Homo-oligomer: A and B are copies of this chain.
Amino acid sequence: MATNKKLHLPKRKKKKSRQQNKLGKAPGTISYMGDKERGDSVIYSTSYNVNGFETNEYENLDQFLKEDSSDKITWVNVVGITDEPFIEKLGKHYNLNPLVLEDIVNTEQRPKIDEYEDYIFGIFRMLYISEEDEIIGEHIAIILHENTVLVFQEVKADVFNGLRERITGKLGRIRTRGADYLFFALLDAIVDNYFLAIENLNNRIENLEEEVYQNPEPIVAQNIQQLKKEILKIRRWIYPVKELISRLIDSENPKITKDTKLFLRDVLDHAIEINESLQIYREMSMSLMEMYMSNMSNKMNEVMKVLTIMASIFIPLTFIAGIYGMNFEHMPELHYKYGYYVVWAVMILLFVGMMIYFKRKKWL
């Protein structure tokens, strides 16, 4: 719940210069759009078939390109996409379209699956929960190319550890299947992790709900708005996936076997479910704001009641005291023996009467 107490406005990215830099350049120009510091790319390659597997790490591109593992399924994991010449050279090796290379390094690219003659190319957002319990969305590009699946990611952290274990530990059927199954398995891992983001949102909604009911401070409203924005952002990453997978299933691409399509339908199911959840969370966050406003009104009502009760009781009493504070020469009551006590009695009666009145109005 503590996470709701502080408000972290998103850091402003200095996107402007980047967007402007790209203006006027020819399409197909490979130009890194993200905000990571420039560094070298590293290739982690995993080759496997039913008989065994092999993992390698290459910091030198040429060395990697020399290797040949055509009899195996190869998962080529490129970490770091800031080095444009590196990407270009690798792209040439696999004969990739310049537009594909442009998208690989365009970290703002929305999810898409494009089918080319020799390969299927997909861009996704890989979501995971950071240690600060925030949802991180990393740009990821996946290319299914004959026996090879190329994966491009910005940082080493990813959501594929379970998949790696299944390959190395020979769990499940992955080692017995083709590259299209690996492609599916990567997609499956990405979509499965969306559930964690969904869960994270759910927890935050529940925390905010509790706070709205118990302690509706202005910071809560800000956090609700922040949540809304984050749901919008995540929806943008997740929403297209449903449509993309559905189209891939319907396409008659021979690179995807009928068997793998059955599995893709499972991923599609998950994608639909996640979209539904997001939709519900969106409506719930709107309800939360409504609830917050209603609680604010409640509090205002309460404040007004206290003021009204105090003023309504004591203003008339003060008036009575004021009367007998006047200095007229001829005020008979002032000289009555019990005048003072009678006034007290009247005041107490008034007070009690008021109290009963407010009780009846249920203001007390």
Contact = CB atoms under 8 A, between A and B. Distances in A.
A304 B7 CA distance: 26
A280 B330 contact: no
Contacts of A6: none
Range for the number of chain A residues in contact with chain B: 35 or more
B303 A314 contact: no
A60 interface: no
A349 interface: no
A273 interface: yes
Contact of A325 (B173, B232, B321): B321
Nearest to A301: B300
Contact of A328 (B173, B319, B343): B343
Contacts of A109: 269
A316 B351 CA distance: 12
Interface in A309-355: 310-312, 314-319, 321-331, 333-340, 343
A225 B26 contact: no
A257 to B, nearest CB: 15
Q: Within the oligomer, what is the number of copies of this chain?
A: 5
B327 A23 contact: no
A310 B28 CA distance: 68
Contacts of A311: 307, 310-311, 315
A93 interface: no
A204 interface: no
A228 B363 CA distance: 29
A294 B228 CA distance: 15
Contact of A232 (B110, B171, B284): B284
Nearest to A285: B287
A109 B99 CA distance: 32
A165 B28 CA distance: 16
A213 interface: yes
A70 interface: no
Contact of A229 (B171, B229, B284, B363): B284
A196 B23 contact: yes
Contacts of A203: 16
Contacts of A329: 334-335, 339
21 contacts: A20-B196, A25-B172, A26-B171, A26-B172, A218-B298, A221-B291, A221-B298, A222-B291, A228-B283, A233-B280, A303-B305, A304-B307, A306-B312, A307-B308, A307-B312, A310-B311, A314-B318, A318-B319, A318-B322, A324-B327, A330-B339
Interface of A: 7, 9, 12, 15-16, 19-20, 22-29, 97, 99, 102, 108-110, 112, 114, 159, 161-163, 165-166, 171-174, 185, 188-189, 192-193, 195-196, 199, 203, 206, 209-210, 213, 218, 221-222, 225, 228-229, 232-233, 236, 262-263, 265-266, 269, 272-273, 276, 280, 283-284, 287, 289-301, 303-308, 310-312, 314-319, 321-331, 333-340, 343, 363
